[in-house]
Amino acid sequence: MKNVLVLNGSPRENGNTKKLSEAFITRCIQRGFDVKKYNIPNMNIDECNDCGRCFEEDKPCIIEDDFNLIAEDLVKSDVIVFCLPVYFYSIPGKFKMFIDRLMCFQEGNKNISDKLFAIISCCEDKDMSNFDGVRVPLERLGRDFGWILLDEILAPGMARKGDIENTDGIRRAKELADKIV
């Protein structure tokens, strides 16, 4: 059985990004995968303070917050799916703080390679280059950790809640789950 970790970065309840992630999760469960989902905006995650004490106390980070809980599941996962909207051409702030904290695996010389990862993202603008602020950092993160990019589901023109219903996004999110073997 595959362990799938879904990291949702959208603070908007029932927004387009969450609808895509829920379609993906539902299909994963139908396929018998074990799915863990975290809504990063609702969690207590502080910013990295670059203390250099990663893995010093038998946990990824010495900061006492929810990051270590997610990090444990990240280590156990076979597939990691980043679900986040584009906020002003970039990664939403709270999610970026989470991404920065992943540095502990490099600083602590912990191997978390041999994973698949995917990106699900929505953007208000229709210009696909607006996804670069999300895509490029996550692709580089995956490359640095030795992960294999499974796919990217990018949905432009998502200005209002529910806009995703008028696209092929839900179908594509389900098909992403079907690509996991």
**pLDDT the model gives residue 13:** 85
Looking at residue 19, its pLDDT comes to: 96
**Predicted local distance difference test score (pLDDT) of residue 50:** 93
Beta carbons within 8 Å of 150's beta carbon, 6+ residues apart: 79, 116, 117, 118, 176, 179, 180
Sign of CA dihedral 13, 16, 17, 19: positive
Residues of the chain under the 50 pLDDT cut: none
What's the confidence (pLDDT) of residue 144?
Answer: 96
Summarize pLDDT for 121-160 with one digit per residue, the tens. 999 999 999 999 999 999 999 999 999 999 999 999 999 9
User: Domains in the chain: how many in total?
Assistant: 1
Domain residue limits at 78:
3-178
CATH number at residue 95: 3.40.50.360
